[in-house]
Amino acid sequence: MHAAAAAVALAGLGWTAWHGLAQPRVALAFGALIALGEAARRRHPSTVEVRDTAPVGAAGGLAYALLGEVAGGPAAHGTAQVVAVVLAATLTGALGRPPARDHLARRLLTTGFAATCFQPLHHSGALDRWPGHGPYYAPFLLLLLALTALCDAVLAAALGRARTGGPYGPALRDELHALPGIGSAVCATGAVMALAVAVAGLWALPVFCLPLLLTQLSFRRWTAVRATCHQTIASLARSTEIAGYTPAGHARRVAALSRATGRELGLRAPDLTVLEYAALMHDIGQLSLVDPVPAGATEPLPPAERRRIALLGGAVVRQTGVPAEVAVVVERQADPYREQPLAARIVRTVNAFDDLTGDRAIGPLLALERLRLATAHEHDPQVVEALGRVLARGPDPCGAGPRARP
């Protein structure tokens, strides 16, 4: 995907440099809008999943790709110049804070797709005839926007799969579910800006991008709140480590590996967030114990004691303001796995794996084998196999790799 984006970028830059920049004033105006949107982009913490952190830049690039006229006169740029302007403007707006490769590749390929579908038809005069003329022009634009949004979702899912290693189907499903949100706003704003510039000229750009800019600022506040919430939960989860009830880093490792396992099993993004929060706080009930359990492993305890710890943990979780589903997952940790929700099964299995490999007691392969032997009563076979596939792909989500014997 990155190679394809690099090839598109080089082709666009080479063609534009050889033939010159058509209508520099128009290119500069759209470039400035895209750069402004990129400058307003904020790099969010990895714990907060967002689809598009620069909607103004995305809408500006889409508008330039769909621009056929400027104040009643024909637009002279083509697909190659669209790619070149978007690339230059994105890099300019990100000075001092280079955009992620996935972000840049997705922006170039999506904008290039829209321009390829529109600009040749415009320059050939096909849009002056059916289907892009008169009353048919609006349905034509809607169809093109739908195809562009679908292209963006496919690219985003592919890039996400390459980054996380999870299955492609659930990733694409999450991207398609997200389209009615910020994606629809970007597509609508881009199309409206292109139509407005065709009639009113370049002064339409600041007028029609203002609502999306305000949305972007509100979006930044929302993501900041989510990041703060996650940091608060992570700090609360560390209380068991500070008090000596669980090993250092245990909650973080279980949360990261649980999230990867849940993604492997096809959980949606909201469910993955619930799973991660529950994994972070799954041991919080141990604070009720007078004496810490050795190594924080509660599996050897009597079922009644494990049930009491789980219920106390759920009661604490309900006071943190997280979704009620998180508390349910924590409360159900001591139930038979066949009666547990999937998220609780995942946390239970990953927690047991981390307990077995803690302090390098045994290697990950032997730990997985012990989990497989316990699938009759303690662990869901599908969860154990999904965990094995995650571990087989290499380093764990925490970045430290499976802890094996030296």
- Average pLDDT of each block of 10 consecutive residues along the chain (406 residues)? 90 92 93 87 48 76 91 89 93 79 89 92 76 70 89 87 77 80 82 89 86 77 81 85 84 91 88 91 81 68 80 85 87 86 92 82 86 88 92 61 39
Q: What is the pLDDT of residue 86?
A: 93
Could you report the per-residue pLDDT of 200-223, keeping only the tens digit for each? Answer: 888 888 888 887 777 777 777 877
Could you report the per-residue pLDDT of 340-392, keeping only the tens digit for each? Answer: 899 999 999 999 898 888 766 688 889 899 999 988 888 999 999 999 998 88
Range list of β-strands (E), 10-161: 69-70, 73-74
Answer for the pair 234, 252: CB distance below 8 angstroms, yes or no. Answer: yes
**CATH 1.10.3210.10 assigned to 238-392:** yes
Q: Alpha carbon 318 to chain centroid distance?
A: 27
Could you report the per-residue pLDDT of 220-261, keeping only the tens digit for each? Answer: 787 788 888 888 888 888 888 888 888 888 889 999 999 999
Q: What is the pLDDT of residue 117?
A: 92
Q: What is the pLDDT of residue 255?
A: 92
Q: How far is CA 142 from CA 115, 129, 145, 149, in A?
A: 14, 17, 5, 10
> What's the predicted TM-score (pTM) here?
0.74
Q: Give the number of other Cβ atoms within 10 Å of residue 224's Cβ.
A: 14
Q: What is the pLDDT of residue 130?
A: 62
Separation between Cα atoms, residue 350 and residue 306, nearest integer Å? 17
Q: What is the pLDDT of residue 361?
A: 67
Q: Give the number of other Cβ atoms within 10 Å of residue 18's Cβ.
A: 8
Q: What is the pLDDT of residue 344?
A: 92
Q: What is the pLDDT of residue 47?
A: 41
